[in-house]
Amino acid sequence: MCGYSKKEELIGKPLLVLAKFKEKTLRHLGEIQKRGGWAGEDAIKRKDGSVVDVQIQAMLIKNDSGSPICMQASFTDLGLKKASEEALKDAEFKLGERIKELACLYGISKLIEKPNISMEEVFEGTIKFIPPGWQYPEITCVRIITPDGEFKTDNFKDTVWKQEDDITIKGEKYGTLEVCYLEEKFKLDEGPFLKEERNLINAIIHQLEKMILERQSRRMLAENEARFRELFKNMSSGVSVYEAVDGGKDFIIRDIKDSKKMAIEGIFILQMIADSLFRCYITTVVGVRKFKRSGYILSPCLKGLLYFRNNISCCRVKIVYR
């Protein structure tokens, strides 16, 4: 600490050789003699003449008769102590920021998971979760622009202190997320923003993109199902819908048009729904096997066409009456 490499360089020398401010050090020595000890901060000189701030703990050692025989003291480099304190404060700050970011992501995730919540409600909720996740929530404002409308915090103002990125669906721009500060702050990683806040924007956009894509897929599936149902309903001939099971080794009957009226080989088709194709057509197993190979059922009562979807997931069969 003091720059001396050998203890012999100090042994036998007066304590004041280390004192930067001799009068101040003498007052401290007086306190030690008067009270038996002293603790506080002072400055000492190194061997090279430089100065170091130290924390001193000193105690007077006395003999049995109460006469002082020596003094014991410890020195702590305040520079190292302050550096450690600063490092601790920095770690605590970063931990606090990460907790805020996780709370933001968790809140948006739980919002998206709510049943029957609309995309508009998700966007409205998202802009409220974002400001508390940023370093200066009191001056943070947010805007999300989508084909469904513009969603922004009440204090939103488009400023030069901004982070933004596109919301992209299937390679095409769907919308934009913008986070702005309302006043200037010290320059950090990305203007006044932390690099972790850029990572947070990316994570939020990923959540929104995933939600939007899932909603679009469900809507398309519902529309296709409705079109199929309408077609199914208006077809003049009987049609069966099957679902593949056991890797396509068998099929389960899921629906049959006019099932209440139709019968095949004395079996009412309504009884076949949710049953196995092999079980219902056990007398035409050879035909069914050929159907699986070539796509056609060679039965006395029906013929059909297998439709491959997602590696054999369903098929339709046209019922032909004789």
Structure tokens at 231: 């077609």
CATH number of the 7-81 domain: 3.30.450.20
Structure tokens at 21: 């401010």
- Three-state DSSP at 281 gives coil
pLDDT for the residue 89: 84
Helices 78-113 and 195-234: crossing angle in degrees, nearest 10, is: 10
- What is the C-alpha to C-alpha distance for residues 233 and 236, in angstroms, rounded to an integer? 9
Task: Give me the amino acid identity at 240.
Answer: S
CA angle 279, 282, 284 (to 5 degrees): 135
pLDDT for the residue 285: 37
Cα within 13 Å of Cα(192), Cβ side = 18
Overall residue count recorded for the chain in this entry = 322
pLDDT for the residue 150: 94
pLDDT for the residue 192: 92
Q: CATH 3.30.450.20 in the chain: give the residue spans.
A: 7-81
- Three-state DSSP at 178 gives strand
- What is the C-alpha to C-alpha distance for residues 242 and 132, in angstroms, rounded to an integer? 51
pLDDT for the residue 153: 95
pLDDT for the residue 307: 34
Contact between 237 and 318 under an 8 Å Cβ cutoff? The reply is yes
Residue tagged 């000193």 (tokens): 58
Partnered with residue 149 across adjacent β-strands are 146
Residue by residue, pLDDT tens for the chain (322 residues) are: 666 778 777 777 777 777 777 788 788 888 888 888 888 888 878 778 788 888 888 888 888 888 888 888 888 887 777 777 788 888 888 888 888 889 999 999 999 998 889 999 999 999 999 999 999 999 999 999 999 899 999 999 999 999 999 999 999 999 999 999 999 998 999 999 989 999 999 999 999 999 999 888 888 888 887 887 777 677 665 566 667 777 767 777 676 665 444 444 444 444 555 556 555 554 333 333 333 333 333 333 333 333 333 333 444 444 433 3
